[in-house]
A and B are shown apart, each in its own frame.
Chain A
Amino acid sequence: MSSIAERIAASGTSNAIELRGVTRYFGALAALTDITMSVRPGERRAVLGSNGAGKTTLLNCITGDFFPTFGTVRFFGEDVTTLPPHERIRRGLRRTYQISLLFSRLSVRDNVYLACRGVSRGRFSFIRTRARDAIMQSVEELIALVHLESVADRLVEELAHGQQRQLEIALALAGAPRFILFDEPAAGLSPAERRDLVAILTALPSHIGYIIIEHDMDVALRVVESVTMMHNGRIFKEGAPHEIQADPEVQELFLGSGHA
């Protein structure tokens, strides 16, 4: 494990995310094959591809939900390939899930509180948090950011789907994120909720980079500066949004055939 000083030194010069030869098998199925990509700090990148292309698996390998079968994952220069997820989160990585993974029997406020507590000290504290403690301030701000004030005291299992998606995003913004992975955050949202989402994404401080998986091109191409296309577990094309949109191969494979 590297010291904090080393980490800071490394982070000054390196990419936020750097994958080298990442490969992941499920049994005999290669969900990812030899993925090599790097994302600069503050860069905003879309990962596109049809269903089953391996996009979610890619995020899982970056966060450590699954370990890659081969290859290395670096986060701000530090090799995190074998670190458990919570260690990567504490280093400033965040993510949302394609299918909401929330704490269904806790209230919205408790959910957000847990996310804030998870990246601060005192996770094991036996002392209750008071309403005027600083952490509650950020909890309330996050709830307000995703417009869930009116249901803050409701249990998550009682929320509508759209509200759960919003909460999913709030959990990923807790603390001081350095890089965020969004897995289809707009899926199942109403047009109004989509606009809110775009607003949240564009309003993020510019030093926070992210990768977003999104089928809705309107959302995706408006909030990113670069695009990675995936197909069958491999990187198929990388480039700026307009290049990708104009690329005939991409057109044929995805945009034309109504996949995206």
Chain B
Amino acid sequence: MLPAFDSSNFRRNDGGSSVSTSLSGYGGRPSEGRASEARGDVLGQWIARHPVAALVIAVAVILVLWLVLAPWPPGVEEAIGKKRLFVNALFNGITLGGLYFLVATGFTLIFGLMRNVNLAHGSLYLFGGYMGYEATQWTGSWLFSYVIAFVCCAIVGMAMQFFIFRRMEGQDLRQTLVTLGLSIIFSDLMVWVWGGNAIQIDTPDYLQGPVPTPIIASIRSSGEMVFLRYPLVRLVIFAAAVVIGIGMWLALHRTRVGVMIRAGVDDRDMLSVLGYRVQLLFVLVFAFGAGLAGMAGVVGGTFQSISLGEDSHFLLASLVVVIVGGMGSIPGAALGALIIGLSEQLGIVYFQNYSTVLSFLIMAIVLVVRPQGLLGRR
């Protein structure tokens, strides 16, 4: 048995070896098991308990708002470069975060419910991108390509869960090794079919081109204000990611299946209540997570491009996002995605030679300070 991160790990007796040195193991100080007090006013309580952190966050938020909204005085521009650069990186980071969220949320959901670290998740992303590309080629419809990508990846995901992982229930490590093997196979198959060249999915005409935003990029010497222009398609996709995120939250909290899934994530023993239907639930969740990765592939193909190697890139992004955000937690995936997206894009602008290392530095710090992830539970 491998350890889990949440209370599900505390079995009714002290026999399970799983309780111990997991991420949640010995790190706890005596005060940390405090009973959940009244649920209300979580934010107020949090601030009361961490006044320093709250202050730091408040100052940071104000600083960022000022950096975004105010025209920069010349001193600032001299110190850290053009405002246009910064705001662009910020927007890129946030929208990239939206993309990462789409990929990582399926990963974290599958992990939370089935304890399956799906290392083929990046391959599903890439596969979705290719299928979406094919779909736009045939039908010319960008929106329809999302449906195709979702369905194709969901089918592959279902097949994986139904034919392979169902037979290895509880053997987390073996499952993970199989997903690793599958990722090697998928990646080679995709090279076989689509070759090594990068493919770009065309943005539909109605989303083409940049649109003005109400953010001042710079002020000309004439005193005329120049507003930032930003690609519409990225803004739309980001909005879609937010909508999907909220939709998932609602589905998980307001529907019966959602409540079942959350109960299963919190306490794996709860799953036995479902009896044989637990398999159905697993297949559905795997399909949904895989489908989301596929849709993300289309997004990625539109934002950037899809090519050989993007599977590892997005697998890695998912790993880092869920490690930072908290494994098995969907709000955690959102927060982690935002942080990693921003750190990558700001890193590219401000620390060229070390930009990716920035994300990993964040990951390492989180692992040291809060091993269960920012929003993960112990």
| A→B interface (CB under 8 Å) | 24-30, 56, 60, 64-71, 81-82, 84-85, 97-101, 183
Contact = CB atoms under 8 A, between A and B. Distances in A.
Contacts of A25: 33-35
Contacts of A183: 14
Interface in B9-47: 10, 13-17, 19-20, 26, 28-36
Nearest first, the 3 closest Cβ-Cβ pairs linking A and B are: A99-B15, A25-B35, A69-B33
30 contacts: A24-B33, A25-B33, A25-B34, A26-B7, A27-B7, A27-B35, A28-B35, A30-B35, A56-B13, A56-B14, A60-B14, A65-B20, A66-B33, A67-B28, A67-B29, A67-B30, A67-B33, A69-B30, A69-B31, A70-B30, A70-B31, A71-B30, A82-B29, A82-B30, A84-B26, A97-B14, A97-B15, A99-B14, A101-B15, A101-B17
B356 to A, nearest CB: 35
Contacts of A82: 29-30
Contacts, number: 55
Helix, strand, loop or mixed for chain A's interface?
loop
Contacts of A30: 35
- Interface class of chain B by DSSP: loop
B311 to A, nearest CB: 36
A29 B36 CA distance: 9
B12 to A, nearest CB: 9
A59 B26 CA distance: 16
Contacts of A69: 30-35
A26 B14 contact: no
A56 B10 CA distance: 13
A52 to B, nearest CB: 9
A231 B33 CA distance: 21
Contact of A98 (B13, B28, B33): B13
A99 B13 contact: yes
A44 to B, nearest CB: 22
Contacts of A84: 26
B30 A68 contact: yes
Contact of B15 (A29, A85, A98): A98
B98 to A, nearest CB: 34
A99 to B, nearest CB: 3
B14 A65 contact: yes
Contacts of B35: 25, 27-30, 69
B269 to A, nearest CB: 14
Nearest to A183: B14
Given A56-B14, A69-B34, A99-B16, 17 more contacts: A25-B35, A27-B36, A28-B36, A29-B35, A56-B13, A65-B19, A67-B32, A67-B33, A69-B30, A81-B30, A82-B30, A98-B13, A98-B14, A98-B15, A99-B13, A99-B14, A101-B17
A165 to B, nearest CB: 13
The residue among A29, A69, A71 with the most chain B CB atoms within 10 A of its own CB is: A69
Nearest to A102: B17
A69 B29 CA distance: 8
B32 to A, nearest CB: 8
A45 to B, nearest CB: 20
A82 B32 CA distance: 12
A66 B28 CA distance: 8
Nearest to A100: B15
Contact of B10 (A26, A64, A71, A98): A26
